[in-house]
Each structure stands twice: as structure tokens, then as C-alpha cells.
């Protein structure tokens, strides 16, 4: 029998979510319905996936919970911050993702989740008009108020551990600037000096989470924890971090389909991606400065899968464009169109068209569950800093760009990284190689 190297998942796991919108209420409602046996957590790796451990006669395929100690859905306790005061039940109804018949059975539980006042700066999301916001003297005060929220939640609920998950809107793009983002000391000084254009509200949440002993997950493409100061803080506090941006629709397709082109040694002339969506995320992304943040994350996927230096004849000069269009009639039912211009034998052109009519929150909810459970696992295993094995769930995986590290965006390589990490944390050999 393998030696267990993970602290057991005792007690309750608190999940504090920034943003009580479509994604987070779909996540919470699904967990509560699954607890009652009224729904299935489809799409969740932690609930369904099986991993091989051992080889030959010793080979077994086991669920994650049979390899490592994991919380059950009954162990999860939720809280949230939001700029709007509506409780989780009202928000779930307003989001119009789930039918009322799939919300009503857990109405009483959802009503109890009332959002705490958000740490918010309208300059970072101009399209949002909420008044459930903290009054803060400066960014340091903003951080201290979030820390107090985390401490109060722990005290009031008696949870054993807490994970903080960002499931709120995309902020405007903050370019990493080593003067403010290079070290923890520089970051803290910028917070105290209230350098508002360099310190996003999301950075205050992340700083608060890590200093209060909570792993932090960035589910939007924000720069938040993707700066050396946060990497240093994660090392100092020995907390795991993960980001950026839930990999739900189009990028999931891209990271899974681009390997087909690469594996068959077909050439790429261009890849044009466009989306229409009408939820709060779409509204915020209709602002050019916010779209810029998303564009940076979506554009980075292809370049590390179909690499010009590896195959100059095939990938030397392709054109890659990404567009997101706010279209209210669709609400959460996002539509992603991909037009892919490829070429084959003797350079003859061909085309591939992919039309993914997906539901953003239905795809994001299981990612929220998996990321929270797995980053809690990483913490119990004593892992800290950037958790690269969670890149399977993320559009633009964090990496050390200061050392020119190339992120792994290839979906199937990411799956190998995930499986190997689970094996290692379960005390088994990480026996799959990434080719």
C-alpha cells in the first residue's frame, strides 16, 4: 500500500467566492443539489475521473478520493463578496442559467448566503454599478477589511480550512511593473501609498487570502497573482496559488483541437475566434480596457502548442485573432465560432469550422469545484507557490515569465501533469511522461 503523504481532509472546507454572479451561484446550487441527490456533478474531474496507479499486475484505476484524502460535497461551506447586495438565491434566479425547479429545492440554503461588501474600484470595471461596496481609505485598508472578513467567516462557521476563489468580472489590464509588483515589500508599500492604477482590488483579495492562510485561485484573466510579489508572498506564507482564467468554452476547444493539427503535421495559416455572450461577464468585457485583459490570456494558448521554432514550415507565420462581442439576448448561453485555415500536402489549403454553443456557467461550475478541492489538497500536501498541475483548468496558466518559462497549454499534456500530481500526493510514482 502507498504511503499517504497528505494531511487528512478533516472538518469543513470554507469556500469564499469573490463575485456572487452566474458562475458562483451555479456552482453553489449544483453542489447543494448534488448533496441532496437531486443532481449530478457532471464535468467535475474530482467527482468522476479515474487515474491509473501502478503498472502491470499492480495496475488499478481509482477515483481521486481513493488515492488521496478529499473533502466530500457535504464538507463545503460557502460565503461570498459582491458589489450587488442580492443573496445567492436571488442572484441564481436573476442569472437565468438554471431553471427554477433546479434552484427551489435548495432555496433555504441559498437565501442564507448574503454577500459581504465587496472591495471594489469602479475604474477597474466601469460597466458595474453596485453599491454593496466597502468604504476604504486606501488599498492597504481595503486589504485589511478583506482579512477581517476571512477571520470572521472562520470564527462564525468553525470551518477547518478556507480557499478563496475569484469568480468575479475581468478587471482592466494591469501591466506587471516591477517597481510595484517585483517584491512583497514593494507591493505592500504601493498599497499603503494607494497607487490605485497599479494595485487592482483583486490583488487586495489575494494578499488578504494568503496572509490569512488561504490558498487563492484567480478565475479571471487578471494579473492579480501573476506577479513576482505574489509568488514571493505565496512562498513566504507557504500557500498555493493558481490562475488565470477558467478554461471553459473556446480555449478548451483550442487547447484540445490544436494538438490534432500538430500531431498530424498539418500547417496553420490562421485561426480566427469570435464569441458572443450576454451575461455580466460580457457586459464588462464590452469595455476595451477589460477586453484587453481577456485578449492577452486567450491569445497565449496557440503559440505554445503550435510552435514556429519546432516546425517553421508549418507554423512560422499564422494569423491569430480573438474577438468577444457583448450580445444581451444570449445571456449565459455563449456561442464560440472558430474559423481555422490549415494547409496540407504540397501546401493545399483546407478549412475547419467549429461552432460551440456552450453554457458558460455550466462549464465553469465544475471547474470551480475541482480547483477548490485540488488547491486545498495541494495545501494539505505541503505544496505552495504556483500550482502548475492545475493548468488543465485554466486558460492562461501561470508561469515564471521573468525566466522565459513557457507554459504548457496542450490539453493532454496538462492532463498528464494533473494525474502525476495526484499520484505523487497519494504516495505513488508519477509514472507518465510528457512528450
C-alpha cell at 216: 487563492
Please list, in sequence order, all residues whose beta carbon lies within 8 angstroms of the beta carbon of residue 331, skipping any fewer than 6 positions away. Answer: 96, 97, 277, 278, 279
- Residue 314 — very low, low, confident or very high, per pLDDT cuts 50/70/90? very high
Least confident of 3-12, 49-58, 120-129, 136-145: 3-12
Residue 4 pLDDT more than 70?
no
Q: Are residues 177 and 287 in the same domain?
A: no
Q: Which residues constitute the domain of residue 326?
A: 250-359
Q: Are residues 238 and 225 in the same domain?
A: yes
Q: Are residues 170 and 40 in the same domain?
A: yes
| pLDDT tens profile 104-155 | 999 999 999 999 999 999 999 988 889 999 999 999 999 999 999 999 999 9
- In this structure, is residue 61 part of a structural domain? yes
Q: Are residues 128 and 218 in the same domain?
A: yes
Least confident of 63-77, 209-223, 292-306, 382-396: 292-306
Least confident of 24-28, 149-153, 396-400: 396-400
Q: Are residues 290 and 184 in the same domain?
A: no
**Strand, coil or helix: what is 24?**
helix
Are 417 and 388 spatial neighbours (Cβ–Cβ below 8 Å)?
yes
User: CA 64, CA 369: separation in Å to the nearest integer?
Assistant: 13
Total of domains in the chain: 2
Residue 415 pLDDT more than 70?
yes
Q: Are residues 275 and 365 in the same domain?
A: no
Q: Are residues 149 and 62 in the same domain?
A: yes
- Mean pLDDT of the residues in the chain: 94
Q: Are residues 395 and 281 in the same domain?
A: no
Where is the domain boundary, 313, 335, 359? Answer: 359
Are 190 and 142 spatial neighbours (Cβ–Cβ below 8 Å)?
no
Are 269 and 332 spatial neighbours (Cβ–Cβ below 8 Å)?
no
User: CA 244, CA 398: separation in Å to the nearest integer?
Assistant: 6
- In this structure, is residue 3 part of a structural domain? no
DSSP 64: G
pLDDT in the model for residue 434? 87
- Residue 15 — very low, low, confident or very high, per pLDDT cuts 50/70/90? very high
User: CA 23, CA 170: separation in Å to the nearest integer?
Assistant: 13
| pLDDT tens profile 82-102 | 999 999 999 999 999 999 999
Going 315 to 316 to 317 to 320, the CA torsion angle's sign is: positive
> Tell me, what CATH number does 352's domain have?
3.30.360.10
Q: Are residues 295 and 190 in the same domain?
A: no
User: CA 242, CA 375: separation in Å to the nearest integer?
Assistant: 8
- Between the CA atoms of 287, 290, 293 and 295, what dihedral angle is there, to the nearest 10 degrees? -20
Residue 378: asked if its preceding bond is cis (omega within 30°), the reply is no
Q: Are residues 402 and 255 in the same domain?
A: no
Segment 211-237 mean pLDDT: 97
**Strand, coil or helix: what is 153?**
helix
The percent of residues in the chain predicted with pLDDT above 90, rounded, is 86
- CA distances to 178, 183, 192, 304 from 189, rounded to whole Å, are 13, 10, 5, 35
pLDDT in the model for residue 301? 81
pLDDT in the model for residue 1? 42
User: CA 44, CA 64: separation in Å to the nearest integer?
Assistant: 11
Beta-strand pair 161-166/116-117? unpaired
Q: Are residues 52 and 83 in the same domain?
A: yes
Instruction: Round the CA-based radius of gyration of the chain to a whole number and report it.
Output: 21
- Tally of helices (H runs) and strands (E runs) in the chain: 15, 13
User: CA 186, CA 188: separation in Å to the nearest integer?
Assistant: 6
Residue 6 pLDDT more than 70?
yes
Q: Are residues 351 and 379 in the same domain?
A: no
- In this structure, is residue 6 part of a structural domain? no
Where is the domain boundary, 359, 379, 406? Answer: 359
- Residue 45 — very low, low, confident or very high, per pLDDT cuts 50/70/90? very high
> Tell me, what CATH number does 114's domain have?
3.40.50.720
- In this structure, is residue 240 part of a structural domain? yes
Burial class (CB in 10 A: 0-12, 13-18, 19+), 293: buried
Edge-first strand listing for the sheet containing 267-277: 319-326, 267-277, 335-343, 349-357
Amino acid at each position: 500500500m502507498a504511503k499517504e503523504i497528505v494531511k487528512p481532509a478533516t472538518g469543513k472546507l470554507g469556500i469564499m467566492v469573490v463575485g456572487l454572479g452566474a458562475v458562483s451561484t451555479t456552482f453553489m446550487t449544483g453542489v447543494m443539489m448534488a448533496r441532496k441527490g437531486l443532481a449530478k456533478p457532471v464535468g467535475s474531474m474530482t467527482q468522476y475521473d479515474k487515474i491509473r496507479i501502478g503498472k502491470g499486475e499492480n495496475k488499478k484505476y481509482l477515483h481521486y478520493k481513493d488515492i488521496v484524502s478529499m473533502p466530500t460535497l457535504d464538507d463545503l461551506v460557502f460565503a461570498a463578496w459582491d458589489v450587488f447586495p442580492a443573496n445567492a438565491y436571488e442572484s441564481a434566479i436573476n442569472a437565468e442559467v438554471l431553471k427554477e425547479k433546479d434552484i427551489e429545492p435548495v432555496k433555504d440554503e441559498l437565501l442564507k448566503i448574503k454577500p459581504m461588501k465587496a472591495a471594489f474600484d469602479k475604474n477597474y470595471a466601469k460597466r458595474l454599478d453596485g453599491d454593496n461596496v466597502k468604504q476604504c481609505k486606501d488599498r492597504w485598508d481595503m486589504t485589511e477589511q478583506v482579512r477581517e472578513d476571512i477571520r470572521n467567516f472562520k470564527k462564525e462557521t468553525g470551518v477547518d480550512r478556507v480557499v478563496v476563489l475569484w469568480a468575479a468580472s475581468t478587471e482592466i489590464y494591469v501591466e506587471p511593473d516591477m517597481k510595484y509588483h517585483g517584491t512583497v515589500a514593494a507591493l505592500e508599500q504601493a498599497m499603503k501609498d494607494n497607487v490605485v492604477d497599479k494595485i487592482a482590488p483583486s490583488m487586495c483579495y489575494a494578499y488578504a487570502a494568503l496572509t490569512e492562510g488561504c490558498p487563492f485561485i484567480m478565475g479571471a484573466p487578471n494579473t492579480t497573482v501573476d506577479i513576482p510579489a505574489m509568488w514571493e508572498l505565496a512562498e513566504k506564507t507557504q500557500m498555493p496559488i493558481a490562475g488565470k482564467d477558467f478554461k471553459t468554452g473556446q480555449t478548451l476547444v483550442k487547447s484540445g483541437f490544436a494538438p490534432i493539427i500538430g500531431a498530424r503535421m498539418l500547417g496553420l495559416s490562421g485561426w480566427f475566434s469570435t464569441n458572443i455572450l450576454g451575461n455580466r461577464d460580457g457586459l464588462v468585457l464590452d469595455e476595451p480596457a477589460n477586453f484587453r485583459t481577456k485578449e492577452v490570456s486567450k491569445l497565449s494558448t496557440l503559440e505554445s502548442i503550435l510552435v514556429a521554432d519546432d516546425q517553421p514550415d508549418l507554423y512560422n507565420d499564422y494569423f491569430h485573432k480573438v474577438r468577444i462581442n457583448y450580445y444581451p439576448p444570449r445571456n449565459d448561453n455563449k456561442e464560440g465560432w472558430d474559423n481555422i485555415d490549415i494547409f496540407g500536402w504540397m501546401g493545399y489549403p483546407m478549412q475547419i469550422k467549429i461552432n460551440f454553443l456552450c453554457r458558460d456557467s455550466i462549464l465553469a461550475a465544475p471547474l470551480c469545484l475541482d480547483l477548490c478541492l485540488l488547491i486545498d489538497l495541494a495545501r494539505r500536501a505541503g505544496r505552495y507557490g504556483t500550482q502548475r498541475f492545475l493548468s488543465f483548468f485554466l486558460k492562461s496558466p501561470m508561469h515564471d515569465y521573468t525566466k522565459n518559462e513557457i507554459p504548457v497549454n496542450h490539453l493532454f499534456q496538462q492532463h498528464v501533469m494533473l494525474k502525476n500530481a495526484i499520484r505523487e500526493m497519494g504516495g505513488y510514482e508519477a509514472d507518465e511522461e510528457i512528450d
